[in-house]
């Protein structure tokens, strides 16, 4: 009888304290095991976490100019700058937090990402490489850059 009780206690303890597999669909995760494997452009990356498949992420909280479908040279120039800055950020510090929030129309995961404890959205916006964006209609970057004298 003592052996059965002992095994029951061990089973309960294992259930309580055994590490659980990371859920890639979780709203928020400790991302110590995540890394950016590829930067697509200034606001889109490929992310790999805990041995899961690579996940395409549209980073939330900001928007950068297009690089592939830029409508004017100034949009392409700033888009390339934002992409290069994101590459440097991803190369120099670990992903420390990921907050997922569904998917977009291109089936990319929408998520906020922190690198080295710093929110990418805050960094990109504060450095003038992006504008705050929360899903509303995107601006016309060419018009915006022309009006701000950055063309």
* 114-138 confidence digits (pLDDT tens): 999 999 999 999 999 999 998 888 8
pLDDT at 40: 96
Task: Supply the mean pLDDT for the chain.
Answer: 83
Tell me the DSSP string of the chain.
Answer: -HHHHHHHHHHHHHHHHSPPPP-TT-SEEE-TTEEEEEEEETTEEEEEETTPPPEEEEETEEE---SSS-SSHHHHHHHHHHHHHHHHHHHHS-EEEEEEEEE-TTSPEEEEEEETTEEHHHHHHHTTS-EEESSSPPP-HHHHHHHTT--
Higher-scoring residue by pLDDT: 110, 7: 110
For the chain, domain boundaries: 27-147
pLDDT at 8: 42
CATH number of 27-147: 2.40.50.90
pLDDT at 102: 94
* 40-71 confidence digits (pLDDT tens): 999 999 999 988 899 999 999 999 999 999 99
């Amino acid at each position: 009888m003592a052996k059965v009780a002992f095994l029951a206690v061990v089973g309960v303890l294992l259930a309580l304290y055994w590490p659980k597999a990371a859920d890639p669909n979780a709203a928020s995760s400790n991302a110590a095991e995540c890394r950016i494997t590829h930067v697509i452009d200034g606001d889109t990356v490929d992310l790999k976490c805990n041995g899961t498949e690579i996940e395409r992420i549209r980073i939330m909280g900001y928007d950068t100019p297009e690089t592939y479908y830029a409508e004017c040279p100034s949009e392409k120039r700033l888009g390339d700058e934002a992409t290069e800055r994101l590459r440097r950020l991803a190369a120099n510090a670990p992903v420390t937090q990921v907050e997922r929030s569904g998917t977009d129309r291109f089936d990319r995961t929408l998520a906020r990402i922190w690198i080295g404890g710093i929110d990418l959205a805050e960094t990109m916006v504060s450095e003038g490489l992006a504008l705050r964006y929360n899903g509303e209609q995107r601006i016309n970057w060419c018009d915006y850059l022309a009006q701000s004298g950055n063309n």
